[in-house]
Structure 1
Amino acid sequence: MTDPKPGLDGVIAAAKQAPGRGLPPVHLWNPAHCGEIDIRIRKDGVWFHEGTPIGREALVRLFSTVLRKDPDGFHLVTPVEKMKIVVEDAPFIATRVDRLESGALRFLTNVGDEVEAGPEHEIRVDLDPASGEPRPYLHVRRGLEALIARPVFYELVEMAAERDTAEGPRLGVESNGAWFPVGPAGAHCL
């Protein structure tokens, strides 16, 4: 039996073990922390290694499968290593939304994840403290979120309906039995 590969090569090897698009069980792995690796995910969803954009989409998708959020930050995790990376905002970007015949909202992320919004995949909207602009997010898996791209958020606002809430009238969307506020009443008319 050979020793597992260290560093970036080990991450690639571990991620390739996931059959098809299935995800490795990173939530079950508890390796020793091995330090940091110079990988940064910018807030626009571009992944960098040692200051250079990772141009191979397949490699970014592969890394995304072994990404985990722990209390101390984001890590690429293998059965034998855990390396901290920098994520400026959310690690993924929701680049598309479709309303299914069932009424559910299905999102596609920049790394190929398909996620139906619902009780386990919530949509939330924060306000940027500096600009006051909405920052919408979708829970993808195990604490990892996708920032909903501006054009996709505009589509959500167009799909939204008004509802009375404890905070007053709000616009929101429904998916898989859950209702998610996306803005104040009348926002789609602005």
Structure 2
Amino acid sequence: MPYQPPPDLASASLLEIADAVAARKLPPLEQWTPAETIDSHMRIAANGQWYHQGTPITRPAMVRAFSTLLLRDEQGYWLVTPQCRQSIEVEDAPFIAIDMQIKDKALVFALNTDELVVAGPGHDLRAEGDADCPAIYLHVRHGCEARLDRSTWLQLAQYALDQGDDLHISSAGQRYSLAPSA
């Protein structure tokens, strides 16, 4: 099946975005219970760059494919197939949110893996860090999150300030604080 990039975030409607998200077929990781566990020799750097045995993975299609197999549990991050769980080192978050748009009272984020995520139920936002170095994370799936890059964080902060609500925002009926708790 040929790769279909998501719709352009700026010009797509929320309905078009929702249709694209719903049409995306992801592997059923929750149904797989592989017996074998090994080390993948892979690492995802804090900037979103993927590495295998210390060498950058430069093919975006490979990163997109691997990203669909990611999950996080109490033991760490894993690439999961029906036959094997492979540990993977993640320096911060496995995904990076690289753009944000406001669509019909919902915040839609574009990830570095060409995915679109609508913040709201099941895709919560959380603030970490401190006032000098805040970090905003978006739950993507299977315990994995996306960290908002600097420009996307600034877009979100400006949106909150424009709303006049002291760094609180709402998306898809959920309310979130952008102020770190620490």
Q: Report the TM-score range of the alignment, normalised by the length of the smaller protein.
A: 0.7 to 0.9
- For 2:38, the aligned partner's letter is G
Deviations, residues 118-163 of structure 1 (Å, cap 9, x unaligned): 12111111015xx840011001112110000110010001110344
Using CA pairs under 8 Å that are at least 6 residues apart, name the structure with larger relative contact order, 1 or 2. Answer: 2
Tell whether the 8 Å contact from 2:71 to 2:141 is kept in structure 1 after alignment.
Answer: no
Q: Max radius of gyration: which structure?
A: 1
Q: What residue in structure 1 maps to residue 99 of structure 2? A: 96
For residues 132 and 83 of structure 2, the distance between their equivalents in structure 1, rounded to whole angstroms, comes to 43
CA distance in structure 2 between the partners assigned to 1:30 and 1:59 by the alignment: 23
Give 1:83 shift.
Answer: 0.7
Quote the residue 1:79 is aligned against: 82
Counterpart for residue 144 of structure 1: 144
- Once residues 69 and 111 of structure 1 are traced to their aligned partners in structure 2, the CA distance between those partners, rounded to angstroms, is 17
Q: Which runs of 5+ in 1 are unaligned?
A: 1-19, 164-169, 185-190
Task: Give the total of aligned pairs.
Answer: 156
Deviations 1:95-138 (A, max 9, x none): 010101x110100100122110012111111015xx84001100
2:63 counterpart residue number: 60
How far off is 1:70 after superposition?
Answer: 1.8
Aligned residue identity for 2:141: R
Contact 1:27/1:68 (<8 A) preserved: no
CA RMSD for the aligned pairs?
1.6
2:181 pairs with 1:179: no
After TM superposition, the score normalised by the length of structure 2 is 0.81
Residues 101-120 of structure 1: pairs in structure 2 closer than 5 A:
102-120=104-122
> What is the match of residue 33 of structure 1?
36
The 4+ residue runs of structure 1 with deviation greater than 4 A are none
Distance 2:61 2:30 in 1: 22
Q: What TM-score does the superposition give when structure 1 sets the normalisation length?
A: 0.78
Q: Structure 2 unaligned segments of length 5 or more: list them.
A: 1-22
